[in-house]
């Protein structure tokens, strides 16, 4: 599709919107914008699929603003005309910032952002000050609708003109299906709805049927069956488990630490640990860490990385979707993502809206089949990259990780938690048929984490870990730099030496972990059983047959009286007030 100027749209845009677009230097429309904006402005519901970084945010913000401006009556501060639902706080903040640029010239409209990390009371106060546009994460919006009695949001939604579900496939991946159903039940049916996603799934089709009325489908791809931008170069490198960190450090040093990198890891614990390690190794480079367990701190880190000219952000998949950070030079996938679609979304943090970008996936020797899997599943070609890593670099990385743990027991704890969380996450991987834990040398993997000792965990039972060589040290001699934590540890250690048991430690039976696919299969089976029971009940009701539960037969007063007489007779016989013959005759025993 050829690029178009904003003034070439079939439906003319308002002056404030055009002026803001000019200030933001958005001279032409992207294909997804050119396709979606006219449809929404003509009153159509839209379900749009477009590759990551294609400009979906403006594709729904511009028609949203135009629709609200065109209403004949002036918007009251208590009337909500638009709702944007998005999966993460970071994406909500980003949309709010873009929208804020337009609202500077549209003073009659006001936005409010409702996300986790703030209290309900704080959100209520913001709404009382007035809001015409709400940007929210689904959990917080459902909570406000269902449980917040101090403000009647349902009443404020009566004037709703447009609902936008951004990154809709991610909303469903995170398990927000029921939450979205609840939210939709509170919203008026007569509205326009825009649903935007990077991939189409079966679950997404169900949501489209439930939330959109006769929608127009828009699918924008740069090439047939290609799900990543053409300006993105995808690479992979095969490494040994014990040299994985050394390989990545060599790569960053070769390319230059002045560039902007995003490093994706599989778990929050891995982010906590490796952020310390990498910051120590690259002391002159700014290294930030961000994952889903952080609260308000996430905003500050996110903003800081966006404003940096060069540096490293180490994160989990919480940053894989929709986040627009300019000039990210390299996306480094230190671990294969938990789902195939997240491979595409991780890569999409670079090469945004026509810019050049590169991505590199680190694979262990047993993981090379993942390349073919991604090509078939996500239609992405990944080219192999070669990089020589010196044995000196590998030794340096291992020694540095171990020295960090010896200096501070908190880093020692983080290293062990990171290893355990990685192994458990790997064991539940969606691609468990090709990424099998039994194929990994866990001893070599532990060296790659720089561990001082192997942790106790069920996944190690019966495994050969002879490749792991632990240093000869007294682990009780490793101290916390935090004085209070060290005091508590010494008290517990002293009690352990006196009693033989570590205080507060509860012996737990290890629960056998299962793969993500197995868990999902069991969940679907339960849902199907419930659905069958529901359908059976409906059929019986249609036929006029009532299902009556069996009740236990109640004991009558007559039965109780008879029982009391028998008990009295037995007591008389025991006390020898009646003979055996009299008892048998009275009791009816022949």
pLDDT digits (tens, 9 = 90+) for 540-590: 777 666 554 444 455 667 777 778 877 887 888 788 788 877 777 776 665
Alpha-carbon distance 36 to 419, whole Å? 45
The string of pLDDT tens digits covering residues 194-205 is 999 877 766 777
Alpha-carbon distance 566 to 580, whole Å? 15
- In whole angstroms, how far apart are CA 315 and each of 217, 289, 305? 33, 6, 12
- Three-state DSSP class for 481? coil
The string of pLDDT tens digits covering residues 146-182 is 888 888 898 999 999 999 999 888 788 777 888 998 9
Alpha-carbon distance 238 to 216, whole Å? 44
According to the model, what pLDDT value does residue 430 have? 83
According to the model, what pLDDT value does residue 551 have? 47
Alpha-carbon distance 275 to 581, whole Å? 92
Percent of the chain topping pLDDT 70: 89
According to the model, what pLDDT value does residue 127 have? 92
CB neighbour list of residue 7: distance below 8 Å, 6 or more residues apart = 13, 18
Alpha-carbon distance 109 to 21, whole Å? 18
> Would you say 13 and 64 are in contact if contact means Cβ atoms under 8 Å apart?
no
Tokens of 570: 């037995």
Sheet bearing 232-239, strands edge to edge: 287-290, 311-315, 260-264, 330-333, 357-364, 232-239, 383-384
Alpha-carbon distance 260 to 328, whole Å? 5
Place of tokens 């003509």: 42
Can you list the alpha helix ranges (DSSP code H) found in 360-408?
369-378, 391-407
∠123-128-129 over CA atoms, to 5°? 100
Q: Where are the beta strands (DSSP E) in 60-122?
A: 82-85, 111-114
The string of pLDDT tens digits covering residues 263-306 is 999 999 999 999 999 999 999 999 999 988 887 688 788 888 98
Mean pLDDT of 388-399: 91
Q: How many CB atoms lie within 10 A of CB 194?
A: 27
Mean pLDDT of 11-24: 89
Alpha-carbon distance 282 to 499, whole Å? 45
According to the model, what pLDDT value does residue 219 have? 86
Mean pLDDT of 224-229: 56
> Would you say 349 and 229 are in contact if contact means Cβ atoms under 8 Å apart?
no
Is residue 1 over pLDDT 50?
Answer: no
Tokens of 36: 């979606």
pTM, whole model, 2 decimals? 0.64
Query: For the ranges 345-359, 430-444, 448-462, 475-489, which has the lowest average pLDDT?
Result: 345-359
**DSSP, residue by residue, 8-32:** GSSSPPPHHHHHHHHHTT--EE-HH
The string of pLDDT tens digits covering residues 65-121 is 999 999 989 999 999 999 999 988 888 988 999 999 999 999 889 999 999 878 888
According to the model, what pLDDT value does residue 546 have? 59
DSSP 218: E
- In whole angstroms, how far apart are CA 203 and each of 150, 168, 176, 208, 584? 34, 10, 11, 9, 74
Is residue 450 over pLDDT 80?
Answer: yes
Closest CA to 346 of 228, 225, 195, 176: 228
Closest CA to 562 of 587, 580, 582: 587
CA dihedral (565, 571, 577, 580) positive or negative: positive
């Amino acid at each position: 599709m050829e690029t178009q100027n904003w003034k070439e749209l079939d439906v003319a845009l308002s002056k404030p919107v055009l002026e803001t677009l000019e200030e933001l230097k958005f001279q032409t429309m992207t294909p997804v914008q050119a396709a979606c904006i006219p449809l929404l402005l003509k009153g159509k519901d839209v379900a749009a699929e477009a590759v990551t970084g294609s400009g979906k945010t403006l594709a729904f913000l511009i028609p949203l603003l135009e629709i609200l401006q065109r209403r004949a009556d002036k918007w009251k501060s208590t009337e909500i005309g638009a709702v944007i639902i998005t999966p993460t706080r970071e994406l909500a903040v980003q949309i709010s910032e873009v929208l804020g640029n337009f609202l500077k010239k549209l003073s009659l409209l006001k936005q409010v952002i409702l996300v986790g990390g703030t209290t309900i009371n704080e959100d209520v106060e913001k709404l009382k000050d007035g809001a015409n546009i709400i940007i929210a994460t689904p959990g917080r919006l459902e909570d406000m609708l269902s449980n917040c009695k101090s403000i009647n949001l349902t009443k404020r939604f009566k004037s709703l003109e447009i609902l936008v579900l951004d990154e809709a496939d991610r909303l469903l991946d995170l398990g927000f299906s029921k939450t979205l159903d609840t939210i939709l039940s509170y919203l008026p049916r007569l509205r326009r709805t825009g649903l935007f996603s990077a991939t189409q799934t079966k679950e997404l089709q169900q949501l489209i049927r439930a939330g959109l009325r006769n929608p127009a489908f828009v699918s924008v791809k740069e090439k047939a069956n290609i799900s990543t931008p053409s300006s993105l170069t995808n690479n992979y490198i095969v490494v040994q488990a014990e040299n994985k960190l050394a390989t990545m450090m060599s790569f960053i040093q070769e390319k230059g630490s002045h560039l902007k990198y995003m490093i994706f890891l599989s778990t929050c614990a891995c982010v906590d640990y490796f952020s310390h390690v990498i910051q120590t190794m690259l002391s002159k480079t700014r290294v930030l860490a961000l994952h889903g367990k952080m609260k308000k701190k996430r905003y500050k880190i996110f903003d800081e990385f966006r404003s940096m000219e060069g540096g490293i952000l180490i994160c989990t998949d919480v940053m894989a979707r929709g986040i627009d950070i300019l000039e990210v030079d390299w996306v480094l996938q230190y671990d294969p993502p938990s789902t195939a679609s997240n491979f595409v979304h991780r890569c999409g943090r670079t090469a945004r809206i026509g810019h050049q970008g590169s991505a590199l996936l680190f694979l262990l020797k047993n993981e090379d089949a993942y390349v073919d899997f991604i090509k078939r599943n996500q239609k992405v070609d990944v080219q192999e990259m070669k990089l020589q890593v010196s044995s000196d670099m590998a030794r340096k990385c291992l020694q540095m990780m171990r020295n960090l743990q010896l200096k501070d027991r908190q880093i020692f704890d983080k290293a062990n938690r990171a290893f355990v969380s990685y192994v458990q996450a790997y064991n539940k991987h969606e691609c468990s048929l090709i990424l099998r834990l039994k194929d990994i040398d866990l001893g070599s993997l532990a060296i790659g984490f720089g561990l001082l000792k192997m942790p106790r965990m069920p996944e190690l039972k019966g495994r050969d870990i002879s490749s792991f060589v632990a240093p000869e040290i007294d682990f009780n001699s490793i101290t916390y730099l935090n004085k209070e934590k060290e005091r508590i540890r010494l008290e517990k250690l002293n009690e352990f030496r006196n009693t033989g048991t570590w205080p507060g430690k509860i012996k737990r039976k290890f629960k056998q972990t299962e793969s993500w696919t197995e868990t999902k299969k069991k969940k679907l089976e339960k849902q199907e059983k419930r659905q069958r029971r529901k359908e059976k009940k409906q059929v019986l009701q249609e036929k006029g047959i009532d299902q009556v539960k069996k009740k236990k037969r109640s004991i009558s007063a007559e039965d109780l009286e008879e029982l009391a007489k028998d008990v009295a007779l037995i007591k008389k016989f025991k006390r020898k007030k009646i003979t055996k013959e009299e008892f048998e005759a009275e009791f009816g025993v022949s």
